[in-house]
Structure 1
């Protein structure tokens, strides 16, 4: 029917059609749909008009794809879906019971099989929210998520990976780091998630530049050829339950600590990584807001990684303000290319942080002695080797694309003179998201100031970009009610 329900499969029937009445289907029932080719579980929406005949059922885009694009007129059979037994274990968790290895496996297996509705997924996400998962539960969920999908084995002992726990707009270091590391002959099969609560994830940004929807076999081929890839983890079915959970986390604007750890570690194990570097930005408006929470997360990540056979090392970085200038897929992609091409306009903070992370990985991979990784990372970038490797990776994945620009923009200027004393990461990310990012790839924000900058009244603070005037107006309406996005204070004499 050409209806986009995101990833949730939906079936449409007339309320009074013979199948709906004889089966006793109600609106929002979970039903099993069988065709000659396959079977899925979907949510039923009842239609109270002549949009469909008594002999027709309509499918959302997600249901259509999962049923392998059935031929018009093909027969289908509809039944009540079996009750989801593992929901009792989710309810138990909501009431304070701990998850076991068995219950975690049951829940993740049912999520992976599509048996959970979005409402049931929301209940699971809520049950795990905050710090409600202990170490044993986190390990159990991680193991179950790894078992739910494909798994790479590269046949070598040294396979590197990195990840940032998020919460920092514009922090798009991964493409630069992968290029530097792979240019030095190390293997780094990088899979990334799409945005959860941010205006862009690495997969969203890389999709502006090249194809990230790699099949399992194509990802293997790219890595074997170039030593690295930059792919969306969902396309290669690595920990696929995670992407289903992320979709609901994003809608709820929730990102559980334990589920975050399970998401990160399961993707690294499934990608075949052996050594992993994790970046934990800490700041008053970052995802991790205190040194104490950073230490707790560090221990949880390292302990869960060890339990699944990974050498996990963490680095705590400054999360007091966004990294780079661009916030949103296309704008972040522009920043990435400027750094890789040694452009004089490249954001220095993005360059410096990328070099720092690459230095740690080069030392972990044995390409540089401890304390000498930074010099090697810098020479790899300055010489153009990293840019050459990045282009080669993109070519292997389908080619490097041109970056497009948004049609609508609005510059927000300072209303007073002084020093930039505070930048609210959460509000900055919210503004870019309201402008349309990441669904509108060219939407987002360019940040023109950094903490400590001296500015005058009328100087530009940031520019919002949107692909439609309504989205730009939506973001500006939010800004009207939130004046503390960037705080300017007068210097004390």
Structure 2
């Protein structure tokens, strides 16, 4: 076969395809015609010693892409890193071994450890398309993973990446399953536990379906994209860190699955357990506390659902060697006042700085979790008191600032340029706030992609409000996003329930 007849000049498309490698070829391209490539065909591209499998998008008509070139998306370009004028050889890839296993799972078959290993391996090698991964995520959703399969998936995800060893007898960690806007306890918990002298190397994710993830909030105040060497230096000097886990290759398959779960906008118990615990085990944790907020508009909606998730988490933790404590908390309402990265960061700093205006509910939740984690670390019966002392004395604030400096330098949160208030349609008492609706408004305002966007709560359940009085404030970085979020809020029955109580 003439290799040159299947080669094209490579050029950058300058298109962000959300970490998914895409190749663009003209419909008149001789390689397209010779190989029978069609739109969405999986194409292997070899360039020197590097290769990538990309999804084909076909360009038609006269345009920017000549027939003798192939344009690569940002992800494909970064994978190959071709030099100036480089040629890429394009061919059909071998069918991924995982495809038949995913098909079997779709049709309800149970998968074994080796099959999960193959699926995760093919996902990380980018042999699987987004359609393949979407089918896998869907087939694992609901109750379609049993406990043994969840354990197998967790082990496969951990084994596919690096695992840390801190050389310590005790490493603590925490996680919240999410679904509760503003519940940004992690930076406070890390500061308290590290100030107590424990090791807590916290790796966090960016938002999946929420207006902010812990990594998004922390990034407002300090760099979070650290490599393993930098992360280890921070933990060894300060006892703790709050970094983005996506660049550390600790359970890297989790990030590949999250990339699919985010646009699908759903989670499941099996995927939650595998995601959380594969990362905790890979990060070198020994004892972990997991917060499960329960509420009708939270991610976990009932006590029965919390019990089912807890049972699965406990079974997986025991199998992978983690000591786990589950904390069931109130998920009926948002926590704090800010919803969105910068607004939540401002709440965190108010608590750490003992500001008189600090949200009491965020402080209480953070101290509860920190106290429970300290007790896991050996402070039998004195965890909550120790946590409160470390916060009230300023030791936690001092340690948090030191962690930020060690991660690359502290920054004060900034505020959005565009704001508008949403007011009460009736007088009465606020009886509830819908977590999902208020989170949706914050996301439409631009969060988390725009760090200063979100929602600032001006009233809380139990507050008495007058008709025309402020309920919440929408923050946006652009007028268009502000108008979009405001219009959505105006069309809803309202995220606030207001009742005239007798």
Q: TM-score band (shorter)?
A: over 0.9
What is the alpha-carbon distance in structure 1 between the residues aligned to residue 395 and residue 466 of structure 2?
41
Question: Per-residue deviation at 1:40?
Answer: 1.3
1:392 aligns with 2:402: yes
What is the alpha-carbon distance in structure 1 between the residues aligned to residue 461 and residue 490 of structure 2?
22
Question: Per-residue deviation at 1:481?
Answer: 2.8
1:433 aligns with 2:480: no
Query: 8 Å contact 2:220–2:451 — kept in the other structure?
Result: yes
Unpaired runs of 5+ residues, structure 1, are none
1:251 aligns with 2:259: no
Give the alignment's TM-score, normalised by structure 1.
0.97
1:78 aligns with 2:102: no
What is the alpha-carbon distance in structure 2 between the residues aligned to residue 288 and residue 263 of structure 1?
16
Deviations 1:400-450 (A, max 9, x none): 123222121111011111111121111111111111111111111011122
Question: Per-residue deviation at 1:83?
Answer: 1.2
Deviations 1:199-242 (A, max 9, x none): 01001111111111111221112111211111111110111110
Query: 8 Å contact 2:173–2:202 — kept in the other structure?
Result: yes
Unpaired runs of 5+ residues, structure 2, are 1-12
Query: 8 Å contact 1:125–1:256 — kept in the other structure?
Result: no
Query: 8 Å contact 1:9–1:43 — kept in the other structure?
Result: yes
Question: Per-residue deviation at 1:477?
Answer: 2.6
Query: 8 Å contact 1:139–1:307 — kept in the other structure?
Result: yes
What is the alpha-carbon distance in structure 2 between the residues aligned to residue 463 and residue 216 of structure 1?
39
Write out the 4+ residue segments of structure 1 that deviate beyond 6 Å after TM superposition: none
Give the alignment's TM-score, normalised by structure 2.
0.95
2:491 alignment partner in structure 1? 481
Query: 8 Å contact 1:145–1:239 — kept in the other structure?
Result: yes
Question: 1:347 pairs with 359, 372, 379, which one?
Answer: 359
Question: Per-residue deviation at 1:248?
Answer: 1.1
What is the alpha-carbon distance in structure 2 between the residues aligned to residue 451 and residue 421 of structure 1?
5
1:293 alignment partner in structure 2? 305
What is the alpha-carbon distance in structure 2 between the residues aligned to residue 218 and residue 75 of structure 1?
36
Higher mean displacement: 215-224 or 263-272: 215-224
1:369 aligns with 2:380: yes
Q: 1:414-425 alignment to 2 at 5 Å?
A: 414-425=424-435
Question: Per-residue deviation at 1:71?
Answer: 2.4
Question: Per-residue deviation at 1:139?
Answer: 0.4
Deviations 1:176-200 (A, max 9, x none): 0000000111000000111111001
1:182 aligns with 2:184: no
1:490 aligns with 2:500: yes
Deviations 1:315-362 (A, max 9, x none): 000000011111111111111111111111111110110011000111
1:154 alignment partner in structure 2? 166
1:25 alignment partner in structure 2? 37
Question: 1:230 pairs with 234, 242, 252, which one?
Answer: 242
RMSD after superposition: 1.2
